[in-house]
Amino acid sequence: MAALVLPAGLLVTLLLVAPMLLLFRISLNEYSPTEMMVEATTAANYLRAVADPYYRSVLGTTLAVATGSTLLALVLGFPAAYWLARMQGRWKSLATILVLFPLLVGNVVRAAGWLALLGNGGAINAALLGLGLVAAPLPLLYNTGAVVAGIVAVVLPYMVLTLSAIIESIPRQTEEAASNLGARPMTVFRRVVLPLALPGVAAGSVLVFVLCMNTYASAVLLGGPRFKMMAPAVYDQFVRGNNWPFGAALAFILLGITLVLTVAGSAVLGRRYRRRETEERA
């Protein structure tokens, strides 16, 4: 067993940790327009990113979009997950495949789909213009709403699958018992289904939040040139600006903040769930 685990472990370490260490080393270097990168050990890149109001606002946008998208995915995903979890027989496998289906299509292709839908010459505007409902195309693209729509479409399958796994573990009879005792459907949801689904809500939200924080394609293609999130800003520094040290520093700031928030978030949700068990031990 160990003979199998050890090489695999080393490979994973090599593949996951080594690039991170390298990236971190780069983030301490200095940028030079002619030399590209000068070996150094400086926190200047981090300080510059933190001090610059532009990057603070990019980070703010990223946090707001990620939080909003996660909440929207949760609100939209819960009913779908519930419906999926309570389905029976062969329809259930069909519906599961349907939920998984969008994952087979890359993010970029899906964003292209939104372009075709929301663009000035896109399906919605063509329909509105054709019906004479509007005189000029509505600006549906290149705004926060379009980005959030694009992101939610990308992350929704993850949310639905995570939630439906936990909802499936809640026996149907537990809900029936509650309604038998006089609870209306919303009360059954609030008092029974939601509390029991909390671990899934936490897992799904953390997973989706991390994906949202690292949004690239949706932000670039649907947000347009003026819309900035962290991942495209990192790409800009690496690829357009050739400023690898600063790009690496931005990447680590994004990583650090995502890490802190997900750990804090799951701790809060987890505490609500685990309060019981602590009482139990006491």
Partner 1 sequence: MGELVLDALGKRFGASVAVERVDLEVPQGQMVALLGPSGCGKTTTLRMVAGFVPPSAGRVLIAGKDVTRAPPHARDTGMVFQSYALFPHMSVAENVAFGLEMRRVGRADRDARTREALRLVRLEGLEDRLPRQLSGGQQQRVALARALVVNPAVFLLDEPLSNLDAKLRGEVRMEIRALQQRLGLTTLIVTHDQEEALTMADRLVVMERGRVRQVGTAEDLYERPADPFVAGFVGRCNLLEGALEAPGRFRAAGGEVLPCAAGPAPGGRSVLALRPEHIRIAPSTDGPARLRAATYLGAQTEYHAELGGTPLVVVRPTPGAEDPLRRILPGDAVSLSWDPSAARLLPAAPHDERGA
Partner 2 sequence: MSITRRSAMAAAAIAAASAGLPRPVRAQAKQVVVGTWGGDYGELLRQNIDAPLMGPQGIEVLQDVANADPRKTKMLAERQARRGTFDVSCLSDTDMQMMAQQNTLETIDFGRLSRAGSIVPALRKPYAVPHIYSALVLLYNPDKVTTPPTSFADMWDPKYRGRVGFSDILYSTNTFAAAMAGGGSFSDYGPAKAKLMELRSLDAKIFPSNEALAAALKGEEVWMTPMWLARGYMWQKAGIPLRHVVPKEGAYAILFEAAVPRNSRNKDNAYAYLDAMLKPEAQTAFADRMGYLPTVTDATLPPEIARAISLSEADQARLRAPDYDYLLRAHSEVLDFWNKQFKG
Contacts with partner 2, residue ranges (CB under 8 A): 31, 33-34, 36, 52, 54, 57, 119-121, 137, 220-221, 224-226, 228, 236, 238-243
> Which of partner 2, partner 1, none is residue 120 near (CB under 5 to 8 Å by kind)?
partner 2
Q: Does 44 sit near partner 1 (CB under 8 A)?
A: no
Q: Which is nearer to partner 2, 110 or 228 (CB)?
A: 228
Q: Which residues of the chain form beta strands (DSSP E)?
A: 30-32, 36-38
Q: Which residue has the tokens 């926190």?
A: 43
Q: Does 195 sit near partner 1 (CB under 8 A)?
A: yes
> Which of partner 2, partner 1, none is residue 173 near (CB under 5 to 8 Å by kind)?
partner 1
Q: Which is nearer to partner 1, 41 or 180 (CB)?
A: 180
> Which of partner 2, partner 1, none is residue 182 near (CB under 5 to 8 Å by kind)?
partner 1
Q: Closest distance between partner 1 and the C-beta of residue 188, in Å?
A: 8
CA distance 45 to 32: 13
Binding positions for partner 1, 125-184, rule CB under 8 A: 171, 173-174, 176-184
Yes or no: say if 254 and 230 are a contact pair by the CB < 8 Å rule.
yes
Q: Does 191 sit near partner 1 (CB under 8 A)?
A: yes
CA distance 120 to 141: 8
Beta bridge partners of 31: 37
Q: Determine how β-strand 36-38 pairs with β-strand 30-32.
A: antiparallel
Q: Which is nearer to partner 1, 121 or 270 (CB)?
A: 270
Q: Closest distance between partner 2 and the C-beta of residue 199, in Å?
A: 32
Number of residues that bind partner 1 (CB under 8 A): 20
Q: Which residues of 11-132 form beta strands (DSSP E)?
A: 30-32, 36-38
Q: For the beta carbon of residue 119, count every other beta carbon within 10 angstroms.
A: 18
Buried b (16+ CB within 10 A) or exposed e, 134-173: eeebeebbbbeebbbbbbbbbbbbbbbbbbbbbbbebeee
> Which of partner 1, partner 2, none is residue 129 near (CB under 5 to 8 Å by kind)?
none
Q: Closest distance between partner 1 and the C-beta of residue 83, in Å?
A: 18
Q: Closest distance between partner 2 and the C-beta of residue 152, in Å?
A: 21
Yes or no: say if 28 and 245 are a contact pair by the CB < 8 Å rule.
yes
